[in-house]
Amino acid sequence: MAFFDIPLPVFMGQLLIGLINGAFYAVLSLGLALIFGLLNIVNFAHGALYMVGAFVAFLLLDILGIGYWPSLVLAPIIVGLFGIVIERLLLRPLADLDHLYGLLLTFGLALLLEGAFRHFYGVSGERYAIPDSLQGGFNLGFMFLPTYRAWVIAASLIVCIATWLLIEKTRLGATMRAAVENADLVRAFGVNVPLLVTITYGFGVALAAFAGVLAAPIYSVNPLMGSNIIIVVFAIVVIGGLGSIKGAIVSGFLLGVCEGLTRVFWPEASNIVIFVVMAIVLIVRPAGLFGKAA
Amino acid sequence: MSQSNAHSSGELSHLADEESERRTPLIADLRLWAVIGIVALLIAPHFIYPVMIAKVLCFALFAAAFNLLLGFAGLLSFGHAAFFGFSAYVTGYCLQSLGFSAELGILAGTATGALLGLLIGALAIRRQGIYFAMITLALSQMVYFVCLQAPFTGGEDGLQGVPRQPLFGVIDMTRNINVYYLVLAIFCFGIFIIYRAVHSPFGQVLKSIRENEDRAISLGYDADRYKLLAFVLSATLAGLAGSTKVMIFQLASLTDVQWQMSGEVVLMAVLGGIGTMLGPILGATIIITLQNELAQIGSLTTIVQGAVFVVCVLLFRRGIVGELSHRWNRWRGRSDGRGGDAPRTVQES
């Protein structure tokens, strides 16, 4: 069985890689969109915190012997708390200034984190083993599906949908959406908006760390893993528009798949295809696929 | 007390002059600094290794070109490495494989910067603010991948040992000192262009767009055209700086097109002072010196740069030159008469 002269297993294999990358893109751009909604800043440190998440999982295992499953919960909590400290100490003073300052500050943070981990762990990266319970895979007849990769896609989807439900269907989510629309008015109703902002930042950052733990067994745990992915995620965010939670999730998966398919048909272009899509979207629909017209 | 009154009344007749002086205090008087600077730079290579100063000048031009966009048009580009680095590749290729003379090689690189600036700028100005920053970053990353894979860039190795072809076909460029004076001339030319652009009606329109784009449009200015023009000018000069770098180091590599380079030039401008003429030059000097000091440990440079970023944004948003000139203004405001004091200190924020 072949598809455009390309053997089906190869095709499906790249599609799978695309879906996995898409899962990371989706979780990361979801966090960016949440943070942007309430803080009005683009969190440049998002990629670095994704990397820190992976490293926390690695260190928990390496030093304390804590395995994958507890790390999947612990690492996001640790990084989320770190994010709360960052928000309170560094981002809060910038709240009333031009949004570009937030971007510059978080860029500086990203450099700091990346430089610090590079200083101690080099650039070669550390291995993180797939947990025993997720070893092996299924033979689907036309391809071999490793269990861990299936788990990554499922876990990302679950987290994305849960976050979406949280924002759209719960009272807390309704308050958050209201605060995005008009923070002052919500505050006048007695809601502690600054606390909401802090929690949102912590939660967005925890999402990044969660993606980092998921990624740890697939890619090596590497100080540079964050900066490589964040620029792609930025392009995806430009394509999808930061205003929409659903847009962030859908465009994340969509562009991951798009990248995977390009790797089948024209491998050299797979690195740049997302940027090309971004350029086309900017020409055809400058506000982004899911964005409201400015 | 009476003395200070007499002092201020004595200056009353010069009030008009004083007003204009207040806007450009002595320490920010560019003509003075230009003369001092050029004289110092002419004799400097007799005391300091010329390649080192040439490097600083090259990056100072790059930072000043970047600052033209951020400081005077309010557009934060996170992708200026694309112009700097890609132009360097083109110049390197022209010198090495096509045997261009120095000035033609640099010209080719600069023209490439302009063309690339036109392409990226036209896309980026379709969105504003942070989106603008993200788009420029993404497009420059695309340029990076093109440089990584294109056949003429030498992939991971880059272009090494690019020959220093003679200037105009006759002037020997193999000597460091000659290259230094070429770089100095290019630097002065670039800074002069930026100065002229900022202090022209064009620069005024850019500032008005920065302050209030909608109002500028309502006054009949085609904001997009002005922004694109500023972008192309900035990219052209960044390309000129990149081409010059090839003449100095005989090298064009992936480092020059990487996003870290874009971040570095942002840092130079922010540290020195966004929207000042001298700020980027000072910022570039500090950062390059710092890099040379920390050169042994690559990761330490990144850490220090990140820390400087955070400190600048939290405590030092005007940058060094901006802060000095602000203090100078306040000091002057306090020393001559109380009448004009209030409105000037209101500016504080």
Judge whether B316 is closer than 8 Å to chain A, CB to CB: no
pLDDT higher than 50, residue B98 = yes
> Picking from A27-31, B24-28, B220-224, which range would have the lowest pLDDT averaged per residue?
B24-28
Structure tokens at A170: 């719960």
pLDDT higher than 50, residue A103 = yes
Domain that holds residue B182: 28-317
| Average pLDDT of span A81-92 | 92
Hey, CA dihedral for A33, A34, A36, A42, is it positive or negative? negative
Judge whether B321 is closer than 8 Å to chain A, CB to CB: no
Query: What is the DSSP track for B38-67?
Result: HHHHHHGGGTS-HHHHHHHHHHHHHHHHHH
Task: State the complex-level ipTM.
Answer: 0.86
In a domain, B248, yes or no: yes
pLDDT higher than 90, residue B80 = yes
Judge whether B306 is closer than 8 Å to chain A, CB to CB: yes
- Contact call for A119 and B297, based on CB within 8 A: yes
In a domain, A119, yes or no: no
Question: How many whole angstroms separate alpha carbon B236 and alpha carbon A222?
Answer: 36
In a domain, B345, yes or no: no
| Average pLDDT of span B173-187 | 87
The chain A residue lying nearest B270, using CA atoms, is: A104
Confidence at A8, pLDDT banded by 50, 70, 90: confident
Facing residue for A275 by CB, picked from B129, B141, B300: B141
Confidence at A17, pLDDT banded by 50, 70, 90: confident
Question: How many whole angstroms separate alpha carbon B218 and alpha carbon B74?
Answer: 19
Judge whether B155 is closer than 8 Å to chain A, CB to CB: no
Facing residue for B126 by CB, picked from A42, A227, A286: A286
Give pLDDT, residue B134: 86
Facing residue for A231 by CB, picked from B126, B259, B317: B259
CATH code of B281's domain: 1.10.3470
Confidence at B24, pLDDT banded by 50, 70, 90: low
CATH code of A19's domain: 1.10.3470
In a domain, B280, yes or no: yes
In a domain, A235, yes or no: yes
Total of domains in chain B: 1
In a domain, B300, yes or no: yes
> Picking from A97-101, A199-203, A232-236, B143-147, which range would have the lowest pLDDT averaged per residue?
A97-101
The chain B residue lying nearest A86, using CA atoms, is: B310
pLDDT higher than 80, residue B30 = no
Question: How many whole angstroms separate alpha carbon B338 and alpha carbon B92?
Answer: 59
State how far residue A2 is from chain B, nearest Cα, in angstroms.
29
Domain that holds residue A153: 2-114+131-284
Residue identified by tokens 């030159």 is B321
Q: What is the pLDDT of residues B268-325, one digit of tens each?
A: 999 998 888 888 999 999 999 888 888 777 678 888 889 988 998 888 888 888 888 8
The chain A residue lying nearest B79, using CA atoms, is: A231
Q: Which of B80, B133, B113, B116 is nearest to B256 (CA)?
A: B80
| Average pLDDT of span A242-270 | 86
Give pLDDT, residue A12: 83
| Amino acid (1-letter code) at residue B231 | F
How buried is residue A144: exposed, middle or buried, by Cβ count under 10 Å (0-12/13-18/19+)? middle
Judge whether B349 is closer than 8 Å to chain A, CB to CB: no
Return contacts of A61-70, CB within 8 angstroms, 24+ apart. Answer: A61/A128, A62/A126, A67/A131, A68/A130, A68/A131, A68/A134, A68/A213, A68/A217, A69/A131, A69/A133
| Average pLDDT of span B169-194 | 87
Give me the phi and psi of A272, to 5 degrees please.
Answer: -110, -5
Judge whether B30 is closer than 8 Å to chain A, CB to CB: no
In a domain, B347, yes or no: no
In a domain, B13, yes or no: no
Q: What is the pLDDT of residues A112-141, one digit of tens each?
A: 999 999 888 888 888 888 888 888 778 777
In a domain, A289, yes or no: no
Which positions ≥6 away from A175 have C-beta within 8 Å? A186, A191, A196
- Per cent of chain A over pLDDT 70 is 97
Question: How many whole angstroms separate alpha carbon B349 and alpha carbon B138?
Answer: 33
Q: Which residues pair with B171 in a beta bridge?
A: B167
Question: How many whole angstroms separate alpha carbon A234 and alpha carbon B340?
Answer: 47
CB pairs under 8 A between A and B: 122
Q: What is the pLDDT of residues A155-189, one digit of tens each?
A: 999 999 999 999 889 988 888 888 888 888 888 88
In a domain, A122, yes or no: no
Structure tokens at B190: 């670039």
In this structure, are residues A94 and A33 in contact, taking their beta carbons and an 8 Å threshold?
Answer: no
State how far residue B338 is from chain A, nearest Cα, in angstroms.
30
Show residues of chain B in contact with A111, CB under 8 Å: 263, 302-303, 305-306, 309
Confidence at B27, pLDDT banded by 50, 70, 90: low
Total of domains in chain A: 1
State how far residue B308 is from chain A, nearest Cα, in angstroms.
8
Interface mutation vs chain A, best among B130, B132, B224, B303, most A CBs within 10 Å: B130
In a domain, B333, yes or no: no
State how far residue B312 is from chain A, nearest Cα, in angstroms.
9
Question: What pTM was computed for the model?
Answer: 0.85
Give pLDDT, residue B209: 87
Q: Which of A240, A216, A200, A201 is nearest to A50 (CA)?
A: A216
| Average pLDDT of span B184-194 | 92
In a domain, B112, yes or no: yes
